[in-house]
Structure 1
Amino acid sequence: MKKPIPVTVLTGYLGAGKTTLLNRILSDDHGKKYAVIVNEFGEIGIDSDLVVSSDDELFEMNNGCICCTVRGDLIQVLYKLLAKAQTFDAVIIETTGLAAPGPVIQTFLVDRYLQAHLKLDSIITLVDAVHIHQRLEDSREAVEQVAFADQLIINKVEHVEEKRLQGIETALRVLNPFARIYRTSRCQVTLDAVIGRGSFDLSRVENLSMMARAPAPEHVHDEHCGHGAHCGHGHKHVHDEHGAGGHDGHAHAHDEDSHIQAGGIRSVSLTTHKPLDLTRLEEWLGNLVTVLGADILRTKGIFYISGCERRYVFQSVHMLMEGDLQGSWSDGEARYSRYVLIGRTLDREALRAGFEACIHD
Structure 2
Amino acid sequence: MLSAFVITGFLGSGKTTLLMNSVREHLKNRRIAIIVNEFGEVGVDGKILKNAYSQVLELPEGCICCTLHAEFEKALWEIRQKYDPEVLLVETSGAAEPFPVMLSLQSLGCTVEGVMCLIDAYNFEKYSHEPTTRHQIGSSNMLVLNKTDLVDEEKLKSVEQEVVRIWHSYRLKNLFTGEPVFRDFKLYKTSYGKLPVEVFEGIFALKAKLEAPEEDYHQHHLEHQVLYFDQPLEYEKLVSLLESFPKEVFRAKGVVRVKEVPQALVVNYAFGGLDLSQTLPDYQGKSFLVVIKKSDN
Query: Per the shorter chain, which TM-score range?
Result: 0.5 to 0.7
Using the TM superposition, name which of 176-185 and 139-148 deviates more: 176-185
Please tell me whether the aligned partners of residues 20 and 52 of structure 2 are also in contact (alpha carbons under 8 angstroms).
Answer: no
SS of residue paired to 1:37 = strand
Instruction: Return the letter of the residue paired with 1:182.
Output: Y
Corresponding residue number in structure 2 for 1:157: 148
Distance change in 2, residues 1:36/1:156 (3 Å): same
Corresponding residue number in structure 1 for 2:134: 143
Indicate which of 34, 37, 42 corresponds to 2:35: 37
Q: Distance in 2 between matches of 1:27 and 1:119?
A: 21
Please tell me whether the aligned partners of residues 152 and 182 of structure 1 are also in contact (alpha carbons under 8 angstroms).
Answer: yes
Q: Which stretches in structure 2 are left out of the alignment for 5+ residues?
A: 61-67, 169-183, 218-297
TM-score when normalising by structure 2: 0.57
Please tell me whether the aligned partners of residues 6 and 196 of structure 1 are also in contact (alpha carbons under 8 angstroms).
Answer: no
SS of residue paired to 2:34 = strand
Q: Distance in 2 between matches of 1:202 and 1:48?
A: 32
SS of residue paired to 2:193 = coil
Residue 81 of structure 1 and its aligned partner are, at CA, apart by 1.1
Matches within 5 A, 1:168-187: 168-177=159-168, 178-187=184-193
Matches within 5 A, 1:297-336: none
Residue 89 of structure 1 and its aligned partner are, at CA, apart by 2.9
1:201 corresponds to 2:206: yes
SS of residue paired to 2:48 = coil
TM-score when normalising by structure 1: 0.47
Q: Distance in 1 between matches of 2:72 and 2:148?
A: 33
1:294 corresponds to 2:295: no
Q: Which stretches in structure 1 are left out of the alignment for 5+ residues?
A: 52-59, 61-65, 204-235, 240-292, 298-361
SS of residue paired to 1:145 = helix
Please tell me whether the aligned partners of residues 125 and 153 of structure 1 are also in contact (alpha carbons under 8 angstroms).
Answer: yes
Please tell me whether the aligned partners of residues 16 and 49 of structure 2 are also in contact (alpha carbons under 8 angstroms).
Answer: no
Q: Distance in 2 between matches of 1:121 and 1:30?
A: 18
Q: Deviations over 1:80-134 (max 9, x none)?
A: 11222x342311000100011111111123x3xx22xx21111111000011122
Question: After the TM superposition, which segments of 4 or more aligned residues of structure 1 sit over 3 Å from their partners?
Answer: 25-29, 47-51, 236-239
Residue 26 of structure 1 and its aligned partner are, at CA, apart by 7.0
Distance change in 2, residues 1:127/1:238 (3 Å): closer
Please tell me whether the aligned partners of residues 7 and 116 of structure 2 are also in contact (alpha carbons under 8 angstroms).
Answer: yes
Q: Distance in 2 between matches of 1:13 and 1:196?
A: 24
1:7 corresponds to 2:12: no
